[in-house]
Structure 1
């Protein structure tokens, strides 16, 4: 990692402040700040090492995602001995859903550490979950699996994991709506189109039709979000019918 230290600037006073704030978040002392610094570097900064390899949070995000999934899987395996593979997979997906990870990142205010050449106001919501996963990856590289597990238990499992509540939580209204339509052999259509209007950020709108009739609409900065908004509105419009089919 000596190359990264040369590429990512180091300032003693800033490092001291970063160390103190990071220790409070982690619940233990970090050893090598280099890992954690990289966990908050956005690709727009364009840092590279001596071999020209990009130095940003994306690879750590990949590692953190894997570690988070492994720790949560182990926890559920022990916590719910009666759960089959499908149940355990579904529960893990609910815990590590993008929405939940974004919430975790926001609660810790991790975005304040991000180094970027892009205004933070232009970041999408997923930046919060991405850097949370990158932080987990940094912990693993710095202190190993046990400290990684300790952090996940403290910041994810203990405050947020409630098995009974999770069982009733809907993580994707779109998937639920489509499954219902397929079981009932109903025709549906998500009609997506650009709808930026006067907004500076690109927006998309969706018209959701059921049996040829528009039943819900959604608008967001991504197609996926717009579809989910429309599907959620459709779900509540047909909640009784959908619930009877589950």
Structure 2
């Protein structure tokens, strides 16, 4: 009986690994070798897992690695495809490609969140979980198959479908940064006044008034200070668009 029980446990474990292997292969476009890297890429810190030495097992360190790999591949691509771009131009273009908004979009497109192992519900993850998982997944690829396979994946999932240099040149990733840069260049005083505005919905909101010079030029409301400031900045940008874009 003991032998039969041992064999049954082993076969069940192999079946689970087989399903995970097949799903990872679909995502990657090539065969994974060490599944433990990918399991770690989907392990949330709330799982409280540790290795034999007591070190935490979760995707946060893989995020760091994946961010570096993604930045390196994108930088090399831009260096080749934009031969006349200076350092500032290349840095701006890379920032547009690896913006948090875009990384979240990539993570959502791949439905990476379905593989997360966590002790908290999905609604408590926060919006950036998708981008974090995408970076961790890239880190796992690097550890598992090395730089060439990592580069292959980034080209397939990021560069080929999303990186159009001409379109990216006109893309704004932060209206607040753009507006602040213009105000500083034009020596205009600006001020964001933010306050809580809970309203009747029962949800916490923040309202912001953006003042340039002596005039309030835009107002906005959102579920976070950052979003409210960005929304107000976007409205102000469109109000001053011709002046801001003037060479």
User: When the two structures are superposed, what TM-score results if normalisation uses the length of structure 2?
Assistant: 0.89
The structural deviation recorded for 1:78 is 1.2
Segment of structure 1 superposing worse, 147-156 or 88-97: 88-97
* Corresponding residue for residue 167 of structure 1: 169
* Corresponding residue for residue 7 of structure 1: none
How many angstroms apart in 2 are the aligned matches of 1:102 and 1:84? 28
Alignment of 1:75-86 (within 5 A): 75-86=77-88
Which residue among 14, 27, 33 is the counterpart of 1:25?
A: 27
* Corresponding residue for residue 73 of structure 2: 71
How many angstroms apart in 1 are the aligned matches of 2:70 and 2:83? 20
* Corresponding residue for residue 184 of structure 1: 186
Which residue among 123, 130, 133 is the counterpart of 1:131?
A: 133
1:107 aligns with 2:109: yes
The structural deviation recorded for 1:221 is 3.6
How many angstroms apart in 2 are the aligned matches of 1:34 and 1:199? 44
How many angstroms apart in 2 are the aligned matches of 1:149 and 1:199? 46
User: When the two structures are superposed, what TM-score results if normalisation uses the length of structure 1?
Assistant: 0.89
Aligned residues: 236
How many angstroms apart in 1 are the aligned matches of 2:25 and 2:203? 36
How many angstroms apart in 1 are the aligned matches of 2:201 and 2:61? 32
* Corresponding residue for residue 226 of structure 1: 228
* Corresponding residue for residue 238 of structure 1: 240
Query: Residues 97-153 of structure 1, C-alpha deviation per residue, up to 9 Å, x if partnerless?
Result: 111111111111111111112211232221111100000000000000000000000
1:87 aligns with 2:89: yes
Unaligned runs of 5+ in 2: 1-11
Alignment of 1:9-24 (within 5 A): 11-24=13-26
- Larger Cα-atom Rg: 2
Unaligned runs of 5+ in 1: 1-9
How many angstroms apart in 1 are the aligned matches of 2:191 and 2:80? 41
**Distance change (3 Å), C-alpha of 1:206 and 1:123:** farther
How many angstroms apart in 1 are the aligned matches of 2:194 and 2:47? 33
Which residue among 146, 149, 168 is the counterpart of 1:147?
A: 149
* Corresponding residue for residue 158 of structure 1: 160
